[in-house]
Amino acid sequence: MSVSLSAQGKVMSQLSGVRAIMKDIVETLERADKKYINLAPGNPVVLPEVEQLWRDCTHELLASKSFAEVVGRYGSSRGYEPFIDAVIGDFNVRYGLKLTRENVLVTAGSQSLYFYAANCFGGVDATGQLKKVLFPLSPDYTGYGGVSLSPDSLLAVKPNLEISPAEHRFKYRPDIDSIEIDENVGCVVFSRPCNPTGNIVTEEEVKSIAAKALLHKVPVLVDSAYGPPFPALNFTEMTPVFDEGIIHCMSFSKTGLPGERIGVAIGAPEVIQALECFHTNASLHSSRYGQAIAALAVGSGRLADIATTVIRGHYAEKLQVVETTLDSEVDDSIPWYMHKGEGAIFAWLWFDNLPISDWDLYQSLKNEGLIVVPGSPFFPGLREEWAHRHQCIRVSLTASKEELQTGMKILAKRLKEIYSAT
């Protein structure tokens, strides 16, 4: 049956960003005539210690009377209270805050949170003005590309590049002067640490952006899916910023619970309340089993421990493998640059003056048995043409060390052929 969609339906029934490529990858792997090294996944590695933690917490839940209450009752839209209390308790001690339940909303994964924010604060306002969802540092998380019912509202700012040619490293820096935040901006969103680049925007930069936004009472959502205290996937020192106007957004996916969809927003009560109502109308509340086991793991301190002693080290070591292999394997004459690996679970590579597009590079590597993700879908909301956009790839650190080594060697070989052909 062919159905007719509303304007919003047309927008939302499009697969955005990297999802079209993921479909190509899945199809490639399904008809696999050969073995591929797959460096595309965003799916975290199931680490034995982490799995054991969640098994233990589930056994504890089953042994308690709470089980029936958790799965067998509707809950508050705000979230499962013992979970909220565990998060508040941890953060108040750890960061010297005075959070109460009014400051917290639990959503069904953090993607929902960005969907609610993008459409609650962004989009057409009562006067017909289109309020922007501003990404102050492009590239950023590809999933942001799909969250708005009014895709025209997405606007990204091109960054400055800090390049170390001799080391083949670079770092994106927000172009603070070009970040305009006025009454036409509904909200600001960026990830820290950043998926896909591994970048950690400095504390000073976060504060500059937040100060600009506060002048016009624009909420700033800091996507901390990879940040401390869990999963603590920062490889350099970083502290979350809790300035007024900042909504600190967490995800429990990289702590080993992606299947359970747990997102947490921490911020000013007025902002939380608006998002909570949207959540209520759109889906009542988030599922509670995941929240209940997370409450046990957060409250006992086990999650923060395992994040710094197991999860962080696992990916930091993988990043090291990618760096070492590329440094030794890629021809020094090639203008290749790896983004400084400050956190998250990806390496982000930029090939200056790449003779082919990122999409062609992806196809060409696929022919050699290596799957990476082309970089262009990671610039949602960027309107200006920029050659750089088509010169990057994302490499996942979820593969084994051996796969990463072999993969980077394939990449090095292919780069040499591509650059020397011109």
Whether 168 and 337 have beta carbons less than 8 Å apart is answered as: yes
Nearest to 138 by CA among 375, 361, 360: 375
Interacting residues with its own copies between 134 and 173 (CB under 8 A): 143, 146-147, 149
**Distance set, CA 45 to CA 51, 142, 147 (Å):** 10, 20, 26
Residue 340 makes contact with its own copies by CB under 8 A: no
Residue 196 makes contact with its own copies by CB under 8 A: no
Q: Please, what sign has the CA dihedral across residues 237, 239, 240, 241?
A: negative
Residue 285 makes contact with its own copies by CB under 8 A: yes
Residue 96 makes contact with its own copies by CB under 8 A: no
Please state the closest distance from residue 363 (CB atom) to its own copies, in A: 24
Candidate ranges 134-142, 283-291, 329-337, 411-419; the one touching its own copies (CB under 8 A): 283-291
Please state the closest distance from residue 23 (CB atom) to its own copies, in A: 11
Residue 195 makes contact with its own copies by CB under 8 A: no
Nearest to 252 by CA among 231, 232, 222, 229: 231
By beta-carbon proximity to its own copies, the closer residue of 11 and 316 is 11
Residue 23 makes contact with its own copies by CB under 8 A: no
Please state the closest distance from residue 170 (CB atom) to its own copies, in A: 29
Question: How many other β-carbons are positioned within 10 Å of the β-carbon of residue 214?
Answer: 16
Q: Which two tokens stand for residue 113?
A: 């949170």
Residue 381 makes contact with its own copies by CB under 8 A: no
Residue from 106, 108, 232, 397 that binds its own copies (CB under 8 A)?
A: 108
Please state the closest distance from residue 247 (CB atom) to its own copies, in A: 10
DSSP states along 268-300: -HHHHHHHHHHHHHHHSS--SHHHHHHHHHHHT
Residue 9 makes contact with its own copies by CB under 8 A: yes
Residue 258 makes contact with its own copies by CB under 8 A: yes
Residue from 38, 119, 197, 199 that binds its own copies (CB under 8 A)?
A: 119
Candidate ranges 113-121, 306-314, 346-354, 387-395; the one touching its own copies (CB under 8 A): 113-121
Residue 178 makes contact with its own copies by CB under 8 A: no
Residue 5 makes contact with its own copies by CB under 8 A: yes
Phi, psi at 64, each rounded to 5°: -100, 165
Q: Collapse the DSSP code of 336 into the 3-class scheme (helix H, G, I; strand E, B; otherwise coil) and give the result.
A: strand
Residue 281 makes contact with its own copies by CB under 8 A: yes
Residue 79 makes contact with its own copies by CB under 8 A: no
Strand locations in 16-57, DSSP E?
37-38
CA distance linking residue 298 with residue 337, whole number of Å: 38
Residue from 31, 34, 35, 73 that binds its own copies (CB under 8 A)?
A: 73
Residues contacting its own copies: total by CB under 8 A: 88
**Distance set, CA 354 to CA 205, 299, 350, 357 (Å):** 30, 49, 9, 7
Question: How many other β-carbons are positioned within 10 Å of the β-carbon of residue 241?
Answer: 20
Residue from 20, 59, 207, 383 that binds its own copies (CB under 8 A)?
A: 59
Report CA Rg, the chain. Answer: 22
Interacting residues with its own copies between 203 and 242 (CB under 8 A): 214, 217-219
Residue 62 makes contact with its own copies by CB under 8 A: yes
**Distance set, CA 307 to CA 167, 235, 289, 356 (Å):** 30, 12, 21, 39
Please state the closest distance from residue 243 (CB atom) to its own copies, in A: 11
